[in-house]
Amino acid sequence: MTETPIRRILPLLLLLAVVAAVAALVTLVGGDEAQLTVTEALIRLTVVVGISIFIGNSGVVSFGHIGFMCIAAYAAAWATCNPMWKQLMLTGLPMFLQENQYPFLAAVGGGAVLAAAVALVFGAVILRLSGIAASIATFAFLAIVNNVYSNWDTVTAGVSSIIGIPTVVDPWIGLAFALIAIVLAFWFKNSRMGLMLRATRDDPVAARASGVSIVRVRLAAFVLSAFVVGLGGTLYAQFLGVVTVDMFYLQLTFVTLAMLIIGGMGSITGAVVGVFAVTVFVEFFRYLEAGVTVGESVFGLPEGSQEIALGVGMALILIFMPQGLTRSKELKLPRSKGRPVPAALTARELPAGS
Amino acid sequence: MINFAQTFIDALSLGSLYALAALGIGLLFGILRLINFAYGDLITLGAYALIIPSTEAVATLFIGNWPWFLVIAAVAVVVVVAALASDFLVFRHVRRADPSTLMIASFAVSFVIQNVILMFYGSRPKSVDLWSNLNYQLQMGEVRIPLLQIVTILATLVLMGGLTLLLKRTSLGIQMRAAAEDFRMARYLGVRGNLVIGLAFALSGVLAAVASLLLLSQVGTLSQTMGVPLMLFAFIATVVGGMGSLVGAATGGFAVAFASVFLQAYLPDELRPFRDSFVFGIVILMLLVRPSGLIPTKALVERV
């Protein structure tokens, strides 16, 4: 490739700047409620970028990543919540977790590493499957995580919540981790591994003929992506202060996939745009649901309309813009002059309908 | 031995329900490569159809009070219309997409149906008394069999028989099987794609309607996610049985039900709550050692 190093990381810098600027602006200008929205959106951004590390580069749709989020969030809850409560309610936890309360960063790191470790074991088993079979297996994984965490009463408190997790995550912490996630995703995408993985996505036969081990490169992406999703999970636990197993099931899987698809599955910019678009969209509908006063009367949409709108929006994107709002391309500055770059080098798109 | 017989009949009746639902999913996958997540919500919709048009907190039956054959017909009409609408509005436009995209599209449809129900009926579960006399238990020796289980098994046998006749003996059925075998080739030979696909959606709707009535008389409570677990098990049944094969779907339904009922009966107490994990684990195992399922078809062979 003839691109200079600066040219290559320019999209990354641009993306980081835009995310930071938007988040900072809303946080500084908006009130408390806006801050909560921004924090949650940034956590979701971390998760969605994490998911896109695997789906975007490998082309294999995973329905199981929210399972990693669940694992990491519970790990963070185990690490940080009040020891008295743990000794009373979570008697099955190992002693080092029961008796101590760990700092924020230890909980974040521990949770993400646990998610990555589970991904390593599980991925080694299922990633030899191809296409839709792998997707089904990831779905089965999500169901297993949900079933285990719903019933392992002495460790996860079953279907009831783990409460009293210190809520230390503010917009700035959320922003820091979202930026880290984006950097990691970019680094991986342009790394040797990432290139090989994208080669297996675009043409598995040719990639294999060039000596790429599909299982190995997929596994690398799977583990990294579970790690980043795990980061998001630990943040989420320490943002809400409560974890319940039902938070991490079909609903969240749907919302995060919707974000990825609406933005464009094939690019990191797509993940960012998707989170932004869906957040704005959902907030708008939430505002309408709360009721808008026009003169004397209040007009409000009934409960459930934001979800319906999201589902309809996603279907429309799938039908009319299968590559998403960004057409699965990365952000880049318009070129004023210089040599033309062949289309094949700039637009690495997911093969549509192949 | 008595315990075994009881467990066996439980498994048979659960298997019938799974097989019904799995057939509906298998039909669509065979022809469209569509794993229809919205299928569970069609089942939910069928159950809610019984209390249309009342939206009060306490459910009152309207259609549900009609004679049983009218109930079945009316619910079937509602569900079939919804299934056809989902094809017409969404799936028809993403037909060329790969299976994962189709699956995501069906996720979107499912989400919309669930929330439309939520919008009208709220999130509180409603208890509904449908055909409660089916809970009567027949005593046969030392084994007790609820009438409902027998009805479930019979209904499944009738529907599977009817479906088999339709697919084997009628021209449309043969066209459907041809389309399931090789959709593009079938179209070259004059099979009308949209007709066959519409028929598949309609048939899967009928199966969903019956499944929803059986499910509702079993659980007695309406909730907007009531169909989801059934759909999940039916879905894994089609995977175990062999995606795209109807015999496979039915076999898979029974296999999954037997696995889950017998695990429930014979797992040690402390592992019993994790039964579903074992069932889902079996699915992953199955995908690994025999990815084409118990009854393989050409549907899942990915060509280079």
Identify the structural domains of chain B with CATH numbers, from first to last: 2-303 (1.10.3470)
Q: Are strands B221-222 and B143-146 parallel, antiparallel or unpaired?
A: unpaired
Best residue in A246, A318, A323 for a mutation probing chain B (most B CBs within 10 Å): A318
Residues 6+ positions from B140 with CB-CB distance below 8 Å: none
Phi, psi at A172, each rounded to 5°: -70, -40
In B165-194, which positions are buried (b, 16+ CB within 10 angstroms) versus exposed (e)? eebeeeeebebbbbbbeebeebeeeebebe
Q: Which residues of B touch A308 (CB under 8 A)?
A: 111-112, 115-116, 119
With 0-12 CB in 10 A as exposed, 13-18 as middle and 19+ as buried, what is B265? Answer: middle
User: Helix, strand or coil for residue A41?
Assistant: helix
Residues 6+ positions from A90 with CB-CB distance below 8 Å: A78, A98, A154, A155, A156, A157, A162
Q: What whole-number distance in Å separates Cα of residue B275 and Cα of residue A148?
A: 9
ipTM of the complex: 0.86
When mean pLDDT is compared across A156-160, A301-305, B6-10, the lowest value belongs to: A301-305
User: For A324, left (φ over 0), alpha (ψ -120 to 50), or beta?
Assistant: left
Across chain A, mean pLDDT equals 88
Closest CA to A80 of A114, A119, A110, A46: A110
Cβ contact, residue pair A136, B239, below 8 Å: yes
Best residue in A51, A144, A262 for a mutation probing chain B (most B CBs within 10 Å): A144
Q: What whole-number distance in Å separates Cα of residue B194 and Cα of residue B84?
A: 11
Cβ contact, residue pair A129, B288, below 8 Å: yes
Q: Quote the pLDDT of residue A340.
A: 46
Q: What whole-number distance in Å separates Cα of residue A23 and Cα of residue A35?
A: 9
Cβ contact, residue pair A148, B277, below 8 Å: yes
Q: Which residues of A touch B96 (CB under 8 A)?
A: 353
- Please state the pTM of the whole predicted model: 0.88
pLDDT at residue A11 greater than cutoff 50: yes
Cβ contact, residue pair B291, A129, below 8 Å: yes
Confidence category of residue A347, pLDDT binned at 50, 70, 90: very low
Q: What is the pLDDT of residues A234-272, one digit of tens each?
A: 999 999 999 999 999 988 999 999 999 999 888 999 999
Taking residues B202-209, report their average pLDDT.
94
Confidence category of residue A3, pLDDT binned at 50, 70, 90: low
Q: Quote the pLDDT of residue A32.
A: 86
